[in-house]
Amino acid sequence: MRKLLAWLAFSVSLASAQDLVITNARIIDGIGGVIQRGSVVVRAGRIVSVNPGTALSKAAKTIDAKGMTVMPGFIEDHRHIIEAGTDPSQWLKDQAVPRMQEFLNAGFTTVQSCGDPVEQIVELKRRLNAGSIQGPRLFTAAFVQLAGQTGPPPAPGGRWIDPARTDTSRPPLRATTAAPAIPDEETRASVRKLKEAGIDDVKTVLIVTPGGPEKHTLSVVVDEAHKVGLPVITHAVTVEDTFAAVEAGVTMLAHTPHIGQLDEAGASKIAASKIPMMSTLGVFVPTFAEQNARVRDRSGVDNLPRFRDLDPFPWNTLSSAGQGPVNARLLWNAGVTYGYGTDTTFLPKDSLAHELKPLRLVFSNQDIVRIMTRNAATVIGHEKEIGTLEPGKLADIVVLDGDPLVDIESVLKVKMVVKAGNVVVNHL
Protein backbone atom coordinates (compact mmCIF):
# COMPACT_ATOMS: atom_id res chain seq x y z
CA MET A 1 0.00 0.00 0.00
CA ARG A 2 2.82 2.43 0.87
CA LYS A 3 4.47 1.95 -2.52
CA LEU A 4 1.15 2.32 -4.33
CA LEU A 5 0.44 5.64 -2.62
CA ALA A 6 3.98 6.86 -3.30
CA TRP A 7 3.58 6.25 -7.03
CA LEU A 8 0.10 7.77 -7.34
CA ALA A 9 1.75 11.19 -7.03
CA PHE A 10 3.13 10.78 -10.54
CA SER A 11 -0.19 10.18 -12.29
CA VAL A 12 -0.55 13.82 -13.41
CA SER A 13 2.93 13.98 -14.97
CA LEU A 14 2.38 10.65 -16.71
CA ALA A 15 -0.86 11.89 -18.22
CA SER A 16 0.97 14.88 -19.74
CA ALA A 17 4.02 12.93 -20.92
CA GLN A 18 4.94 12.90 -24.60
CA ASP A 19 4.69 9.84 -26.80
CA LEU A 20 8.24 9.18 -28.01
CA VAL A 21 10.22 6.89 -30.24
CA ILE A 22 13.97 6.85 -29.61
CA THR A 23 15.59 5.19 -32.60
CA ASN A 24 19.07 4.47 -34.01
CA ALA A 25 20.32 3.65 -30.50
CA ARG A 26 22.67 1.21 -28.84
CA ILE A 27 20.38 -0.02 -26.06
CA ILE A 28 21.53 -1.31 -22.68
CA ASP A 29 18.31 -2.50 -21.04
CA GLY A 30 19.58 -2.96 -17.47
CA ILE A 31 18.68 -6.64 -17.33
CA GLY A 32 21.75 -7.83 -19.20
CA GLY A 33 20.60 -7.28 -22.77
CA VAL A 34 22.35 -5.14 -25.38
CA ILE A 35 20.84 -4.18 -28.74
CA GLN A 36 23.43 -2.65 -31.08
CA ARG A 37 20.83 -0.79 -33.17
CA GLY A 38 17.33 -0.55 -31.86
CA SER A 39 14.39 1.58 -30.77
CA VAL A 40 12.49 2.35 -27.58
CA VAL A 41 8.80 3.27 -27.89
CA VAL A 42 7.23 5.35 -25.11
CA ARG A 43 3.53 6.05 -24.65
CA ALA A 44 1.91 8.00 -21.80
CA GLY A 45 5.14 8.04 -19.83
CA ARG A 46 5.77 4.30 -19.96
CA ILE A 47 7.84 2.02 -22.14
CA VAL A 48 5.80 0.13 -24.73
CA SER A 49 8.57 -1.77 -26.50
CA VAL A 50 12.35 -2.20 -26.72
CA ASN A 51 13.33 -3.90 -29.98
CA PRO A 52 16.05 -4.15 -32.64
CA GLY A 53 15.59 -2.07 -35.77
CA THR A 54 13.59 1.07 -36.40
CA ALA A 55 10.18 1.82 -34.95
CA LEU A 56 8.01 4.54 -36.45
CA SER A 57 4.87 6.21 -35.18
CA LYS A 58 3.08 9.20 -36.70
CA ALA A 59 1.57 9.96 -33.31
CA ALA A 60 4.90 10.06 -31.49
CA LYS A 61 7.88 12.39 -31.48
CA THR A 62 10.88 10.61 -33.03
CA ILE A 63 14.32 11.15 -31.51
CA ASP A 64 17.40 10.02 -33.44
CA ALA A 65 19.97 8.83 -30.89
CA LYS A 66 22.66 8.98 -33.61
CA GLY A 67 24.10 5.63 -32.60
CA MET A 68 24.63 6.71 -29.00
CA THR A 69 23.85 4.57 -25.96
CA VAL A 70 20.38 4.49 -24.44
CA MET A 71 20.11 3.05 -20.93
CA PRO A 72 17.89 3.36 -17.84
CA GLY A 73 17.98 6.62 -15.88
CA PHE A 74 20.54 6.65 -13.09
CA ILE A 75 19.37 6.12 -9.50
CA GLU A 76 21.09 7.58 -6.43
CA ASP A 77 20.20 5.56 -3.32
CA HIS A 78 21.94 7.66 -0.66
CA ARG A 79 22.07 11.40 -0.95
CA HIS A 80 21.97 14.38 1.39
CA ILE A 81 20.10 17.01 -0.58
CA ILE A 82 20.25 20.06 1.69
CA GLU A 83 23.86 20.93 2.43
CA ALA A 84 24.79 20.75 6.12
CA GLY A 85 25.37 24.10 7.78
CA THR A 86 22.86 25.95 5.59
CA ASP A 87 19.46 27.30 6.62
CA PRO A 88 17.04 24.66 5.22
CA SER A 89 14.24 27.12 4.50
CA GLN A 90 16.62 29.51 2.75
CA TRP A 91 18.08 26.59 0.79
CA LEU A 92 14.59 25.63 -0.37
CA LYS A 93 14.02 29.21 -1.52
CA ASP A 94 17.37 29.89 -3.20
CA GLN A 95 18.98 26.56 -4.05
CA ALA A 96 16.29 23.98 -4.75
CA VAL A 97 15.73 24.80 -8.42
CA PRO A 98 19.37 24.73 -9.60
CA ARG A 99 20.31 21.81 -7.33
CA MET A 100 17.48 19.63 -8.67
CA GLN A 101 18.38 20.46 -12.26
CA GLU A 102 21.94 19.33 -11.54
CA PHE A 103 20.66 15.80 -10.88
CA LEU A 104 18.83 15.70 -14.19
CA ASN A 105 21.84 17.12 -16.04
CA ALA A 106 23.94 14.27 -14.62
CA GLY A 107 21.41 11.62 -15.69
CA PHE A 108 19.74 10.95 -12.33
CA THR A 109 15.99 10.45 -12.62
CA THR A 110 15.44 9.08 -9.08
CA VAL A 111 17.09 10.07 -5.79
CA GLN A 112 16.70 8.76 -2.24
CA SER A 113 17.35 11.43 0.39
CA CYS A 114 18.84 9.68 3.43
CA GLY A 115 18.45 12.23 6.18
CA ASP A 116 17.54 15.85 5.47
CA PRO A 117 15.47 18.32 7.53
CA VAL A 118 11.99 16.82 7.58
CA GLU A 119 9.80 19.83 6.85
CA GLN A 120 11.91 21.08 3.97
CA ILE A 121 12.61 17.73 2.30
CA VAL A 122 8.91 16.81 2.37
CA GLU A 123 8.06 20.21 0.85
CA LEU A 124 10.72 19.71 -1.82
CA LYS A 125 9.19 16.36 -2.73
CA ARG A 126 5.74 17.95 -2.90
CA ARG A 127 6.99 20.63 -5.31
CA LEU A 128 8.76 18.06 -7.48
CA ASN A 129 5.63 15.91 -7.65
CA ALA A 130 3.50 18.94 -8.46
CA GLY A 131 5.87 19.98 -11.24
CA SER A 132 6.59 23.42 -9.79
CA ILE A 133 10.26 22.38 -9.64
CA GLN A 134 11.86 20.23 -12.33
CA GLY A 135 14.06 17.51 -10.93
CA PRO A 136 14.43 13.82 -10.16
CA ARG A 137 11.83 11.63 -8.54
CA LEU A 138 12.50 11.99 -4.80
CA PHE A 139 12.06 9.59 -1.89
CA THR A 140 12.76 10.74 1.67
CA ALA A 141 14.12 9.30 4.89
CA ALA A 142 14.49 10.80 8.36
CA PHE A 143 16.17 9.71 11.58
CA VAL A 144 14.94 7.86 14.63
CA GLN A 145 17.51 7.69 17.40
CA LEU A 146 18.46 4.31 18.92
CA ALA A 147 20.11 5.45 22.16
CA GLY A 148 20.99 8.49 24.21
CA GLN A 149 23.75 10.69 22.83
CA THR A 150 27.32 9.40 23.04
CA GLY A 151 30.54 10.48 21.40
CA PRO A 152 32.45 13.77 21.19
CA PRO A 153 30.72 17.08 22.04
CA PRO A 154 29.86 19.56 19.28
CA ALA A 155 32.72 21.68 18.00
CA PRO A 156 33.20 25.14 19.53
CA GLY A 157 30.92 27.71 18.02
CA GLY A 158 28.59 25.04 16.70
CA ARG A 159 30.58 24.52 13.47
CA TRP A 160 29.40 21.43 11.62
CA ILE A 161 31.85 18.53 11.72
CA ASP A 162 31.43 15.72 9.22
CA PRO A 163 30.37 12.67 11.29
CA ALA A 164 32.48 10.40 9.07
CA ARG A 165 35.57 12.40 10.07
CA THR A 166 35.05 11.74 13.79
CA ASP A 167 33.11 8.47 13.44
CA THR A 168 32.25 6.99 16.82
CA SER A 169 32.02 3.59 15.13
CA ARG A 170 35.79 3.69 14.69
CA PRO A 171 38.21 3.02 17.58
CA PRO A 172 39.42 4.77 19.66
CA LEU A 173 36.22 6.86 19.64
CA ARG A 174 33.95 3.82 19.85
CA ALA A 175 32.13 3.69 23.18
CA THR A 176 33.34 1.22 25.81
CA THR A 177 30.29 1.57 28.08
CA ALA A 178 26.55 1.17 27.47
CA ALA A 179 24.68 4.12 25.99
CA PRO A 180 21.49 5.34 27.72
CA ALA A 181 18.30 3.61 26.62
CA ILE A 182 15.27 5.31 25.06
CA PRO A 183 11.83 4.05 26.21
CA ASP A 184 10.16 1.79 23.64
CA GLU A 185 6.99 3.86 23.46
CA GLU A 186 9.02 7.00 22.77
CA THR A 187 10.72 5.16 19.91
CA ARG A 188 7.39 3.98 18.49
CA ALA A 189 6.00 7.49 18.71
CA SER A 190 9.02 8.82 16.78
CA VAL A 191 8.33 6.37 13.97
CA ARG A 192 4.65 7.33 13.82
CA LYS A 193 5.57 11.02 13.78
CA LEU A 194 7.69 10.52 10.64
CA LYS A 195 4.83 8.69 8.98
CA GLU A 196 2.47 11.57 9.76
CA ALA A 197 5.01 14.07 8.42
CA GLY A 198 5.02 12.36 5.02
CA ILE A 199 8.45 10.72 5.21
CA ASP A 200 8.92 7.59 3.05
CA ASP A 201 11.55 5.72 5.10
CA VAL A 202 12.92 5.57 8.63
CA LYS A 203 16.69 5.91 8.98
CA THR A 204 18.70 4.75 11.98
CA VAL A 205 22.37 4.87 12.93
CA LEU A 206 23.51 1.67 14.62
CA ILE A 207 26.65 1.68 16.77
CA VAL A 208 26.34 -1.13 19.29
CA THR A 209 27.71 -0.26 22.73
CA PRO A 210 28.73 -2.95 25.28
CA GLY A 211 25.52 -4.08 26.99
CA GLY A 212 23.73 -1.18 25.35
CA PRO A 213 20.15 -0.87 24.07
CA GLU A 214 20.79 -0.22 20.37
CA LYS A 215 19.93 -3.59 18.88
CA HIS A 216 16.74 -3.91 20.96
CA THR A 217 15.64 -0.38 20.07
CA LEU A 218 16.32 -1.04 16.38
CA SER A 219 14.05 -4.10 16.61
CA VAL A 220 11.35 -1.85 18.07
CA VAL A 221 11.84 0.63 15.20
CA VAL A 222 11.55 -2.20 12.66
CA ASP A 223 8.39 -3.52 14.28
CA GLU A 224 6.65 -0.14 14.45
CA ALA A 225 7.80 0.87 10.98
CA HIS A 226 6.34 -2.31 9.53
CA LYS A 227 3.04 -1.56 11.25
CA VAL A 228 2.79 1.86 9.60
CA GLY A 229 4.22 0.75 6.25
CA LEU A 230 7.67 2.34 6.33
CA PRO A 231 10.95 0.63 5.37
CA VAL A 232 13.95 1.00 7.70
CA ILE A 233 17.33 2.14 6.35
CA THR A 234 20.19 1.50 8.76
CA HIS A 235 23.61 3.13 8.83
CA ALA A 236 26.05 0.46 10.02
CA VAL A 237 29.66 0.88 8.95
CA THR A 238 31.52 -1.77 10.94
CA VAL A 239 31.28 -5.48 10.34
CA GLU A 240 30.00 -5.93 13.90
CA ASP A 241 27.23 -3.35 13.50
CA THR A 242 26.23 -4.71 10.10
CA PHE A 243 25.65 -8.15 11.60
CA ALA A 244 23.53 -6.54 14.36
CA ALA A 245 21.45 -4.65 11.79
CA VAL A 246 20.87 -7.85 9.82
CA GLU A 247 19.75 -9.66 12.97
CA ALA A 248 17.29 -6.83 13.72
CA GLY A 249 15.66 -7.32 10.31
CA VAL A 250 16.15 -3.88 8.74
CA THR A 251 14.98 -3.24 5.18
CA MET A 252 18.13 -1.67 3.69
CA LEU A 253 21.76 -1.17 4.69
CA ALA A 254 22.92 2.38 4.01
CA HIS A 255 26.61 1.51 3.70
CA THR A 256 29.06 -1.16 2.73
CA PRO A 257 30.79 -2.20 5.98
CA HIS A 258 34.18 -0.50 5.71
CA ILE A 259 35.59 -0.86 9.22
CA GLY A 260 36.79 -4.42 9.67
CA GLN A 261 37.29 -7.11 7.06
CA LEU A 262 34.63 -9.65 6.11
CA ASP A 263 35.41 -13.23 5.18
CA GLU A 264 33.36 -15.39 2.84
CA ALA A 265 31.34 -16.91 5.71
CA GLY A 266 30.43 -13.45 7.04
CA ALA A 267 29.49 -12.20 3.60
CA SER A 268 27.29 -15.27 3.10
CA LYS A 269 25.55 -14.61 6.42
CA ILE A 270 24.66 -11.07 5.33
CA ALA A 271 23.59 -12.23 1.88
CA ALA A 272 21.31 -14.90 3.36
CA SER A 273 19.24 -12.14 5.00
CA LYS A 274 18.27 -10.80 1.52
CA ILE A 275 18.79 -7.26 2.82
CA PRO A 276 20.11 -4.99 0.01
CA MET A 277 22.95 -2.53 0.45
CA MET A 278 24.06 0.89 -0.80
CA SER A 279 27.65 1.44 -1.92
CA THR A 280 28.86 4.84 -0.55
CA LEU A 281 32.49 3.77 -1.09
CA GLY A 282 33.85 7.12 -2.26
CA VAL A 283 33.58 8.86 1.12
CA PHE A 284 37.03 7.65 2.13
CA VAL A 285 38.77 8.42 -1.17
CA PRO A 286 40.35 11.91 -1.37
CA THR A 287 38.88 14.45 -3.75
CA PHE A 288 40.79 17.29 -5.44
CA ALA A 289 39.86 20.67 -6.84
CA GLU A 290 40.06 19.57 -10.45
CA GLN A 291 37.66 16.70 -9.69
CA ASN A 292 35.01 18.53 -7.70
CA ALA A 293 33.41 21.92 -8.37
CA ARG A 294 32.47 22.40 -4.72
CA VAL A 295 36.13 21.96 -3.74
CA ARG A 296 37.11 24.55 -6.35
CA ASP A 297 34.52 26.93 -4.99
CA ARG A 298 35.93 26.61 -1.49
CA SER A 299 39.66 26.10 -1.91
CA GLY A 300 40.67 27.34 -5.33
CA VAL A 301 43.23 25.07 -6.98
CA ASP A 302 45.50 24.23 -4.05
CA ASN A 303 45.86 20.55 -5.15
CA LEU A 304 45.33 19.35 -1.58
CA PRO A 305 43.45 16.09 -0.88
CA ARG A 306 40.05 16.87 0.63
CA PHE A 307 37.52 14.88 2.61
CA ARG A 308 33.78 14.83 1.98
CA ASP A 309 33.36 17.94 4.16
CA LEU A 310 36.00 19.67 1.94
CA ASP A 311 38.44 20.06 4.85
CA PRO A 312 41.86 18.33 4.66
CA PHE A 313 41.68 14.57 4.26
CA PRO A 314 41.93 12.55 7.53
CA TRP A 315 44.45 9.84 6.73
CA ASN A 316 43.39 7.66 9.67
CA THR A 317 40.21 6.87 7.71
CA LEU A 318 41.98 5.72 4.55
CA SER A 319 41.86 2.03 5.54
CA SER A 320 38.14 2.19 4.79
CA ALA A 321 38.96 2.99 1.15
CA GLY A 322 40.47 -0.50 0.94
CA GLN A 323 38.28 -2.51 3.30
CA GLY A 324 35.05 -1.16 1.79
CA PRO A 325 35.65 -2.25 -1.82
CA VAL A 326 36.99 -5.68 -0.78
CA ASN A 327 33.96 -6.24 1.45
CA ALA A 328 31.72 -5.03 -1.38
CA ARG A 329 33.08 -7.64 -3.77
CA LEU A 330 32.78 -10.43 -1.19
CA LEU A 331 29.17 -9.42 -0.57
CA TRP A 332 28.47 -9.23 -4.32
CA ASN A 333 29.93 -12.71 -4.82
CA ALA A 334 27.75 -13.98 -1.96
CA GLY A 335 24.61 -12.59 -3.65
CA VAL A 336 23.89 -9.27 -1.92
CA THR A 337 21.90 -6.82 -4.05
CA TYR A 338 24.27 -3.88 -4.22
CA GLY A 339 23.13 -0.43 -5.40
CA TYR A 340 24.68 2.94 -6.14
CA GLY A 341 24.85 5.57 -3.40
CA THR A 342 27.31 8.33 -2.52
CA ASP A 343 26.32 9.83 0.87
CA THR A 344 27.40 13.25 -0.43
CA THR A 345 26.15 16.74 -1.17
CA PHE A 346 28.58 17.28 -4.08
CA LEU A 347 27.47 18.09 -7.59
CA PRO A 348 25.85 14.84 -8.79
CA LYS A 349 28.20 14.51 -11.76
CA ASP A 350 31.24 15.03 -9.51
CA SER A 351 29.88 12.55 -6.97
CA LEU A 352 29.39 9.99 -9.72
CA ALA A 353 32.94 10.47 -11.02
CA HIS A 354 34.23 10.11 -7.46
CA GLU A 355 32.21 6.98 -6.61
CA LEU A 356 33.40 5.34 -9.82
CA LYS A 357 36.97 5.32 -8.46
CA PRO A 358 36.44 2.72 -5.70
CA LEU A 359 33.75 0.85 -7.65
CA ARG A 360 36.20 0.26 -10.48
CA LEU A 361 38.65 -1.39 -8.08
CA VAL A 362 36.50 -4.51 -7.77
CA PHE A 363 33.62 -4.26 -10.27
CA SER A 364 33.46 -4.56 -14.03
CA ASN A 365 31.82 -1.97 -16.28
CA GLN A 366 28.86 -4.33 -16.66
CA ASP A 367 28.58 -4.64 -12.88
CA ILE A 368 28.63 -0.87 -12.39
CA VAL A 369 25.87 -0.32 -14.96
CA ARG A 370 23.75 -2.82 -13.06
CA ILE A 371 24.64 -1.18 -9.72
CA MET A 372 23.50 2.25 -10.99
CA THR A 373 20.21 1.05 -12.47
CA ARG A 374 18.44 -2.23 -11.75
CA ASN A 375 20.17 -2.85 -8.42
CA ALA A 376 19.74 0.72 -7.22
CA ALA A 377 16.01 0.46 -7.90
CA THR A 378 15.81 -2.83 -6.00
CA VAL A 379 17.70 -1.47 -2.98
CA ILE A 380 15.12 1.29 -2.44
CA GLY A 381 12.21 -1.03 -3.17
CA HIS A 382 11.02 0.41 -6.51
CA GLU A 383 12.26 -2.16 -9.00
CA LYS A 384 8.74 -2.79 -10.34
CA GLU A 385 8.56 0.76 -11.73
CA ILE A 386 12.11 1.88 -12.55
CA GLY A 387 15.66 0.66 -13.11
CA THR A 388 15.35 -1.19 -16.44
CA LEU A 389 14.08 -0.56 -19.95
CA GLU A 390 11.16 -3.00 -20.08
CA PRO A 391 7.58 -2.70 -21.35
CA GLY A 392 5.29 -1.32 -18.65
CA LYS A 393 7.96 0.48 -16.68
CA LEU A 394 8.31 4.25 -16.38
CA ALA A 395 10.23 5.73 -19.28
CA ASP A 396 13.29 6.94 -17.36
CA ILE A 397 15.99 7.03 -20.02
CA VAL A 398 19.49 8.45 -20.42
CA VAL A 399 21.29 8.92 -23.75
CA LEU A 400 25.10 8.78 -23.49
CA ASP A 401 27.84 9.77 -25.92
CA GLY A 402 29.81 6.54 -25.61
CA ASP A 403 29.42 2.94 -24.49
CA PRO A 404 29.73 2.43 -20.71
CA LEU A 405 30.30 -1.28 -21.22
CA VAL A 406 33.54 -0.34 -22.99
CA ASP A 407 34.42 2.82 -21.03
CA ILE A 408 32.47 3.31 -17.80
CA GLU A 409 33.29 7.04 -17.81
CA SER A 410 30.78 7.32 -20.65
CA VAL A 411 28.16 7.66 -17.88
CA LEU A 412 29.58 11.16 -17.39
CA LYS A 413 28.72 12.14 -20.99
CA VAL A 414 24.97 12.68 -20.75
CA LYS A 415 23.31 14.01 -23.91
CA MET A 416 19.61 13.54 -23.17
CA VAL A 417 17.47 12.63 -20.17
CA VAL A 418 13.86 11.45 -20.27
CA LYS A 419 11.95 11.19 -17.00
CA ALA A 420 8.60 9.38 -17.09
CA GLY A 421 8.33 10.12 -20.81
CA ASN A 422 9.19 13.82 -20.56
CA VAL A 423 12.41 15.11 -22.14
CA VAL A 424 14.02 17.08 -19.30
CA VAL A 425 17.57 17.47 -20.69
CA ASN A 426 18.44 17.64 -24.40
CA HIS A 427 21.92 18.22 -25.79
CA LEU A 428 21.58 16.00 -28.85
DSSP secondary structure letters along 165-204 = TT-TTSTTSS-SSPPPP--HHHHHHHHHHHHHHT-SEEEE
Residues of the chain with CATH 2.30.40.10: 1-73+387-428
Per DSSP, the three-state class of 54 is coil
The pLDDT, as a whole number, for residue 16 is 63
The pLDDT, as a whole number, for residue 152 is 46
3.90.650.10, 3.20.20.140, 2.30.130.60, 1.25.40.10: CATH of 74-386: 3.20.20.140
The pLDDT, as a whole number, for residue 170 is 94
Residues of the chain with CATH 3.20.20.140: 74-386
CA distances from residue 76 to 25, 221, 279, 374, 393 in whole angstroms, order as listed: 24, 25, 10, 11, 18
Summarize the chain as % helix, strand, coil (round to 5). Answer: 35, 20, 40
Q: Tell which residue, 292, 375, 288, has the closest CA to residue 328.
A: 375
CATH 2.30.40.10 for the 1-73+387-428 domain, yes or no:
yes
CA-to-CA distance for 417 and 106, rounded, in angstroms?
Answer: 9
Quick one: residue 160, left, alpha or beta (phi over 0 = left, psi -120 to 50 = alpha)?
A: beta
Q: What is the DSSP letter of 259?
A: B
Tens digit of each residue's pLDDT, the chain (428 residues): 445 555 555 544 555 677 999 999 999 999 999 999 999 999 999 999 999 998 877 768 999 999 999 999 999 999 999 988 889 999 999 999 999 999 999 999 999 999 999 999 999 999 999 999 999 999 999 999 999 864 444 444 556 788 899 899 999 999 999 999 999 999 999 999 999 999 999 999 999 999 999 999 999 999 999 999 999 999 999 999 999 999 999 999 999 999 999 999 999 999 999 999 999 999 999 999 988 998 888 877 788 999 998 899 999 999 999 999 999 999 999 999 999 999 999 999 999 999 999 999 999 999 999 999 999 999 999 999 999 999 999 999 999 999 999 999 999 999 999 999 999 999 99
The pLDDT, as a whole number, for residue 18 is 79
CA-to-CA distance for 115 and 276, rounded, in angstroms?
Answer: 18
CA-to-CA distance for 42 and 18, rounded, in angstroms?
Answer: 8
